[in-house]
A = this chain, B = another copy of it.
C-alpha cells in the first residue's frame, strides 16, 4: 500500500497508528492498564472472539508493546504484561478516557474516575510542555520538519511525489 509506506516514514502519528490504530487493540491496552493480564479474563472483559483476541495479542507482543510471561509451569500458562513501550501509551489511553468523559457524557457523569494518589484528588489529565510545564494548546504549538525527514531528504530518499504528499507546513523547508 503506497500510502502506508510513505506516511509511516514521514508522519509520527501514522507510524504510531500502524501499531495501535485499531479499536480492539486500544481496548486490550486499557484492560492491561487496569490489571487484566490473562487471556480468559480479557476475553470476558471485552466480549471478543478468541481468534480475534489472539491475533491482536500476537501483534502487540511482536511489536514490543506487551511481554508474554509465564505465570504457571504445569500446565504452562502465560500472561501479558505491558512493556516499558506499552506503559508509555498511558497518556494516549487516559486522554481518550477523559475526552470521552467530557464530550460523550450521557448525563450521568464519568463511569470511572481517576484519583491521583500523590495529591489525593480526582483528576483530569492535562497535556503539558516538557520544557516549561505550561499546558499545550494546539495554537501554541508549531510543527516543523524534524531530523527524520531531513536525513531522508539528504540521502535522496524523498522523491518529488513523496514531497507532494507531505502536509503543507512541511513543503517549504524540504523543497
Contacts and interface: CB of A to CB of B under 8 A. Distances in A.
A114 B137 CA distance: 12
Contacts of A35: 167-169
A34 B142 CA distance: 9
Closest 9 CB pairs between A and B? Answer: A3-B47, A16-B100, A21-B23, A109-B147, A111-B148, A119-B132, A12-B97, A113-B146, A91-B127
Contact of A116 (B41, B96, B131): B131
A10 B57 CA distance: 23
Contacts of A170: 112
A144 B20 CA distance: 25
A109 B168 contact: no
Nearest to A84: B103
A163 interface: no
A112 to B, nearest CB: 5
Interface of A: 2-3, 6-7, 9-23, 26-27, 30-31, 33-36, 41, 44-48, 64, 85, 87-106, 108-119, 121, 123-138, 140-149, 151-152, 164-165, 167-170
A121 B112 contact: no
A164 to B, nearest CB: 8
Contacts of A33: 138
Contacts of A164: 44
Contacts of A12: 96-98, 100-101, 110-112
Contact of A104 (B15, B26, B41): B15
A170 B128 CA distance: 29
A121 to B, nearest CB: 4
A13 B36 CA distance: 15
B167 A100 contact: no
